[in-house]
Amino acid sequence: MRVLKEICRQPTALFGLAVVVIVIVMAIAAPLIAPFNPDEQMFDGLTLEGAPMPPGGQFLLGTDTLGRDLFSRMLFGARTSLIIGLVANGIAVTIGLFVGITAGYLRGWAGNLLMRFTDLMMAFPALLLAIVLAALLKPSLWIVAMVIALVNWVQVARIVYTETRGLVERDFILAERSLGAGHGRILFLHILPHLMPTAIVWGTLGIATTVLLEATLSFLGIGVQPPAPSWGNIIFESQSYFQAAPWLVFFPGAVILVTALAFNLVGDALRDILDPTQRGRG
């Protein structure tokens, strides 16, 4: 409740939260809101010359190159993009937490080995690695989510490792050890709760990155495969019609931009609220 009140006091964060809620609600209610089946190719969805219909009339945002309603495909595409964003980012944060906590708590050769592997992954271009993994595996919604998770966990691991190293030297942790507390008790009752604000912030900020990466992979043709709609492959399918039918690229591109911005605004606000070291900084 306190977090929500703090967000409501910040106009930019409130705008971001409103956009996120609207996108999520529209994605969940897509079967009820969409005026047409997203895969239905309609005879009146193309002009006599076979070109897409412009926005207006029964087609709110126009139609695509196959005569399918663009608004309906974008609604269902929101489901795909958000599912990948939430699943991939959830897996990435989980992996990052596990690696960071393990390396920071154990230290020694095991911690060094984990962090050198993390450094190696950070040095490798994330987009290139995602392209290689997506090309090797048969692209599907869950494969794309897994690929994105495998390239996005490293930043979380590095941050969690640094914070864990500081926590294990705190007096309350040393006191627990002196009282004979086991590793499980220290990790789950004392260290992990202190890391949850960081996980929440990075989880929120990472959704924007994940949505953008999914759109990039789909745009390159190695993400979610047609006819399943996603914002990225809608642009991919329509890129050759950019000049003749610019709405096919503009509308999904604008939605990707606004959604990523909204998640970033919410994530920045959560960082200021949950991280006491950020308070008072402007």
pLDDT at 230 over 50: yes
Domain assignment present for residue 133? The answer is yes
Q: Render the burial of 28-48: b for 16+ CB within 10 Å, e for the rest.
A: eebeeebebebeeebeebbee
Q: What is the pLDDT of residue 172?
A: 78
Q: What is the mean pLDDT of the chain?
A: 83
For residue 280, what pLDDT is reported? Answer: 44
Mean pLDDT confidence for 137-148: 81
With respect to residue 39, please indicate whether it lies within any of the assigned structural domains.
no
Q: Is residue 28 part of a domain?
A: no
Task: Tell me how many domains the chain contains.
Answer: 1
Cα–Cα distance between 213 and 208 in angstroms, integer?
9
Are 272 and 278 in contact by the 8 Å Cβ rule? The answer is yes
Residue 214, domain member (yes or no): yes
CB distance 79 to 85 below 8 Å: no
pLDDT value at 91 more than 60: yes
20 within domain boundaries: no
Quick one: which of 170, 194, 171, 203 has its CA closest to 270? 203
Range of the domain at 121: 73-278
Task: Please report, for the domain that includes residue 125, its CATH number.
Answer: 1.10.3720.10
Q: Which pLDDT does position 75 carry in this prediction?
A: 92
Residue 21 counted as domain residue: no
Mean local confidence (pLDDT), 192-203: 83
Locus of tokens 């529209």 = 26
Return the axis-axis angle of helices 70-106 and 231-238, rounded to nearest 10°: 130
Residue 9 lies in a domain: no
Of 219-228, 231-240, 255-264, least confident by mean pLDDT is: 219-228
Residues 69, 30: Cα–Cα separation, whole Å: 13
Considering the domain boundaries, does residue 143 fall inside one? yes
Q: Does 18 have pLDDT greater than 90? A: yes
Say what the alpha-carbon torsion angle 159, 130, 149, 105 is, to the nearest 10 degrees: -40
Task: Give 119-161 as a 3 state SS string.
Answer: HHHHHCCHHHHHHHHHHHCCCCHHHHHHHHHHHHCHHHHHHHH
- Sign, CA dihedral 239-241-247-250, equals positive
Classified as helix, coil or strand, 56 is: strand
pLDDT surpassing 70 at residue 189: yes
